[in-house]
Structure 1
Amino acid sequence: MRDSAASAEAALAFLTEARALAEDARGVHLLGPVPAAMAKRAGRHHAQLLIESRERGGLHRFLDTWLPRVQSLPSARRVRWALDVDPIELF
């Protein structure tokens, strides 16, 4: 999951809240949130949260329940965010 916001704090705060919603998840491993490799581009601050699973089905079951909860976070409206399943690169 990646996001961008006007401030680095807002970018990391949203992903921290999203991660907190997944603390009880089984079968997935979360890394981050961390600033992106290019933390500031086009005047916006970027961060990312990596979600890993050994089983593709387990990952999709997790995402099916977790994403609606993430979308309902008030902070989800204050940042631009996206989820890339099988990202080609992390930037």
Structure 2
Amino acid sequence: MSPKTSQSGGGGKVGGKGGGRNPAFTPARIAVLVLAVLTLIFIFENTKETEIRLLIPLVTMPLWTALLGTAVIGALCGAYFMRRRR
């Protein structure tokens, strides 16, 4: 068998990474989507009232609001640092 040779005269990728292809569902995007769904299921399964200390005041609220707020703050911090890295 003969080795494969490239006969294109241009030599180079078009569009940067992946040769210009941008598939909608990559393994990383699927993993993030699955984690997001699991996080939302976890948050909305925990609906009991709970006491949370916010530095000084003691607040009573549903646990799901505290979990959702924490997830949103974490996502915003992650997005900020990923944008700064670019």
| TM-score calculated relative to the size of structure 2 | 0.29
Structure in which a larger fraction of residues adopt strand: 1
Structure in which a larger fraction of residues adopt helix: 2
Per chain length, whose mean CA-contact separation is higher, i.e. which structure has more relative contact order (CA < 8 Å, sep 6+)?
1
Select the structure of larger CA radius of gyration.
2
